[in-house]
Amino acid sequence: MTDFSPQLVMFDLDGTLIDSMGGIAHAVNTVRSRYGGMPLSTGQIRGFVGNGGRRLMERALADLIPPPAIEPALAGMIEAYAAEPLHDTRLYPGVAEGLAQLARRGCLLAVVSNKPDPVGRLILEGLGVAAFFCEIIGAGRFPLKPAPDALLYLLEKYAVPRERAWFVGDHCTDLGAAAAAGVRGVFCRYGFGRRGDCPAPFAIDHFAELPPLLAQG
């Protein structure tokens, strides 16, 4: 019997939909300056990304003596980021067009990010693509990826079978979440994350490759 349920396509945010390293580095260095630290390069901060804001700030402040308390530092980073959410941040090529194409097909689109709320939503609204998504989930509502809780919530809420669902991301945490939720994972090689040893059933080098891939099933 043919399954007429819609496809559910869930996306990571940083390194998948948006090139945001400049904005992340700016927010982190804003906090470092408050504690007397010198700016870190964008390349250094790129290596700290992938496990949520808390781990990012722990890594980014580890060289300061004494290390600042993480809670106020994290709050400061979120405040700095929310004040300038679009600083040096842009959609990857093909994202706006690809999302529009998937939406026209009737796909349900959602974002599951470890980025602190409300920054992710502010960025997507500012870049003009927030309306494509039925849900934008950031840190705070569910355990961080690679925990599959947010993905499982979306599967249940929208009554989509696992075989009709995909998770698209650029980091091993995204692939781990996809595997744990029992959905197909797509690794974005163009992003700034790390695949590590996580299995990636599918991989793309450009966002424009995604709609044809999903059209296969």
Please name the residue that has the structure tokens 């689109």: 109
What's the one-letter identity of residue 83? A
Q: Name, in order, each residue with C-beta under 8 angstroms of 109's C-beta and a sequence gap of 6 or more.
A: 9, 10, 11, 99, 102, 103, 132, 133, 134
- Cα–Cα distance for residue pair 6/1, rounded to 1 Å: 15
Catalytic residues: 12
- Cα–Cα distance for residue pair 25/78, rounded to 1 Å: 12
Residue 135, classed as helix, strand or coil, is: strand
CA angle in degrees (0–180, nearest 5) for 186-81-69: 100
Q: Name, in order, each residue with C-beta under 8 angstroms of 216's C-beta and a sequence gap of 6 or more.
A: none
Q: If you count them, how many residues does the chain have?
A: 217
Phi, psi of 125 (to 5 degrees): -65, -45
Which of 15, 10, 13 minimizes the C-alpha distance to 194? 15
